[in-house]
Structure 1
Amino acid sequence: MTPTRRRFIKIAAVQSAALAAASQASVFGTAHSKALHPWRGIVLGAEASIQLNCDSEKRAKRVLKTCVSEIQRLETIFSLYDERSSLSQLNKEKRLKQAPAELLELLRFAQEFGAQSQGIFDVTIQPVIQAYREHFARHDSGLPANLSQALKSVDYRKIRITADTIEIPATVSITLNGVAQGYITDKIAALLREEGFGHTLIDLGEKRALDSHPSGRNWQLGLANGFGIHDVAELNNQALSSSGGYGTTFDKSGQHHHLIDPRNGLSANHHASVHVLASDATLADALSTALATCSREEAKQLEAKFPAATVFRS
């Protein structure tokens, strides 16, 4: 989830047309009386938006302001690029006492999912990603000379969590760029639910729909793969996450990118894109990252562990 990690998922033209139609009337009946109040911004480097269904502009502004404050608070925990963030402090000091509850929760999830995926999803991949960045800052091709050494640091099982303290070995660094946006999306969804909101679409790098569109139909989202829209997903109280190697490339050819197999240190090019529809954005985020990284045969085995999820790929 680097700054351009998931910008390639755009709401399809079909959604824009449907939104315009829904403002007049819905195929399910009279359009909902509430208005969709939009917010747009940047979350962990990615374009973000919220379409809040509310009958009061004043209340909508107040609630959206609360959402933005919460997003900013969570960014100070998970940002890989903010030196003051909790994650950056952990990577620097290798030990974080009185760690935020959200970081503890997400790292526990990451370890559990790492085990479920048999190491295909591994948040300790950061030393390898950094090796690629440094290599291609100086060269146009090839592999990092220190790739084998960086790979030795990769193992999610090396993260130690005891009570409110997190510890990692000196050579280990963590990135939550494959799951943090989904987690933040779920937190904002929970906040809005507690405030009584529904029929709302949240897009914080990953998407989550609270109920259907106000018109009564499903939210319709286009799925892109770098060549254009290849499919449309319909959401109703579900989350959608997408992963594609071309989202952040290290070289001009695009063969070397951020979706790296933690087992061999090589960028995975099995799919142009993978999209996962699931009950929550945290799972969808991690699962799309893992499925985009592994082979099609391995993907079938991993998908079988999450039968409630729907996968689109190209």
Structure 2
Amino acid sequence: MVSTSTRRRFIGISAAAAGLALLPFGRVAQPHSQTVRWHGRAFGAPTELILHHRDRAEAERLVMQVAAEIARLESIFSLYQQHSALSTLNRLGVLITPPPELVTLLEKSRTVWDLTGGLFDPTVQPLWQAYAQYFSIAASDPAGPSRQKIESALDLIGFDRVIFNHDRIAFAQRGMALTLNGIAQGYITDRIVDLLRENGITSTIVNMGEVRAVGMRSDGTPWRVGINDLDTGPVEGYPLVDRAIATSSPNGFRFGGPGSPSHLLHPRSGASESLYGSVSIVAPEAATADALSTAFGFLTVERISGLLTTLPDTEVHLVRHDGRHLHLA
């Protein structure tokens, strides 16, 4: 039976501390520093925030501000919340006066959709639903839905059929639906980084489902983020300075358990496929890294290398199914 979780990541991201460790103005936490912790959920996954600060009242204020911003953005992008802006759009097929953040995220999605020739496509949601519904039945064939079901879902896919501006978002065909799970966590990570910077934080590493580093560590060295691959084990930590990292793998979610189709669904063939065991993207922003980590799983090494010429300060770490590692920059 399919899990209710839609987490696409197989990763355990390890940084200086669990969750989000904030060191104001680049200072290390001193014995007399106050520690404020917050535990919550974002897009169905647990999230933790740990803030070290000399002023506990200020730390608590900032923690609450971050938590409120996460909740506000989830009320726009979540597929779990019945009355979120995205759920309302999917239910009605049109949204009048949409939240500006939703329009911004659709614009970012369109950029990556163009760049990847449509391989990053948020309108893949009907296909995801076809797989989820199929595997919600106990003892389903691990091969997945029939070709007829897949073809019916593919008829509803195509981001070029989503019409949007700041006044209105509309689908060109009844039954279309969007999922932003392949980019929204990165967008929220970027927004939290902006919020922290606005409040004077100059050295931290933010983990809101995707990871983004701000500045350097207090000793002047880069932050290091390690990716724990379920098949090949831990990967050497990647150095990050004012950059983000996102990872996707077919092992992040499988609809019917080991050996069944994964969440990585090709928007043209409808098949569950990935050319790699994992794809990790290091980029200036988490939203871009998030989206590319999905799309690049469908692209050959040669095509990825070609696209990197148009993506400044971006690198790709691939783990092949046989365990071999490739670094492209």
Q: TM-score when scaled to structure 2?
A: 0.85
Q: In structure 2, how many angstroms separate the alpha carbons of the residues matched to 1:127 and 1:92?
A: 12
- Rate the CA distance shift 1:158–1:85 in 2: closer, same or farther, 3 A: same
The answer to whether residue 293 in structure 2 is matched with residue 288 in structure 1 is yes
Question: Which residue is 1:160 aligned to?
Answer: 163
The answer to whether residue 59 in structure 2 is matched with residue 60 in structure 1 is yes
Deviation at 1:233, TM superposition (A): 0.9
- Rate the CA distance shift 1:218–1:162 in 2: closer, same or farther, 3 A: closer
Question: Which residue is 2:178 aligned to?
Answer: 174
Q: In structure 1, how many angstroms separate the alpha carbons of the residues matched to 2:298 and 2:47?
A: 24
Aligned ranges 1:45-84 → 2 under 5 Å = 45-52=44-51, 54-84=53-83
- C-alpha deviations, 1:120-165, integer Å up to 9, x for none? 1000000001111111223132231210111111100000013321
Q: In structure 1, how many angstroms separate the alpha carbons of the residues matched to 2:37 and 2:314?
A: 28
The answer to whether residue 148 in structure 2 is matched with residue 149 in structure 1 is no
- C-alpha deviations, 1:198-238, integer Å up to 9, x for none? 21121110011111123432221111221321221111221
Residue identity in the other structure for 2:53: C
Question: Which residue is 1:93 aligned to?
Answer: 92
Deviation at 1:251, TM superposition (A): 2.4
Q: In structure 1, how many angstroms separate the alpha carbons of the residues matched to 2:224 and 2:58?
A: 26
Structure 1 residue ranges without an equivalent (≥5): 17-22, 24-29
- Rate the CA distance shift 1:118–1:94 in 2: closer, same or farther, 3 A: same
- Rate the CA distance shift 1:245–1:37 in 2: closer, same or farther, 3 A: same
Alpha-carbon contact 1:104-1:164 (below 8 Å) kept: no
Aligned ranges 1:1-314 → 2 under 5 Å = 3-6=6-9, 8-11=11-14, 15=16, 38-52=37-51, 54-138=53-137, 139-145=140-146, 146-168=149-171, 169-227=173-231, 228-314=233-319
Deviation at 1:5, TM superposition (A): 2.2
Residue identity in the other structure for 1:222: G
Q: In structure 2, how many angstroms separate the alpha carbons of the residues matched to 1:44 and 1:244?
A: 18
- C-alpha deviations, 1:214-271, integer Å up to 9, x for none? 3432221111221321221111221111111111101233341111111111112311
- Root mean square deviation, CA, Å: 2.3
Q: In structure 2, how many angstroms separate the alpha carbons of the residues matched to 1:48 and 1:288?
A: 21
Q: TM-score when scaled to structure 1?
A: 0.88
Q: Residue 46 of structure 2 aligns to a residue in which SS?
A: strand
Between the two proteins, the alignment pairs up a number of residues equal to: 301
Residue identity in the other structure for 1:79: S
Q: In structure 2, how many angstroms separate the alpha carbons of the residues matched to 1:293 and 1:279?
A: 22
Q: Residue 125 of structure 1 aligns to a residue in which SS?
A: helix
Alpha-carbon contact 2:10-2:253 (below 8 Å) kept: no
Residue identity in the other structure for 2:212: R
* Further displaced range: 215-224 or 34-43: 34-43
Alpha-carbon contact 1:7-1:205 (below 8 Å) kept: no
Residue identity in the other structure for 1:141: P
- C-alpha deviations, 1:55-111, integer Å up to 9, x for none? 322211110100000100000000011111100000000000010000011011111
Alpha-carbon contact 2:203-2:216 (below 8 Å) kept: yes
Alpha-carbon contact 1:51-1:201 (below 8 Å) kept: no
Alpha-carbon contact 1:2-1:177 (below 8 Å) kept: no
Q: In structure 1, how many angstroms separate the alpha carbons of the residues matched to 2:293 and 2:246?
A: 6
State, as a whole percentage, how many aligned pairs show the same letter: 33
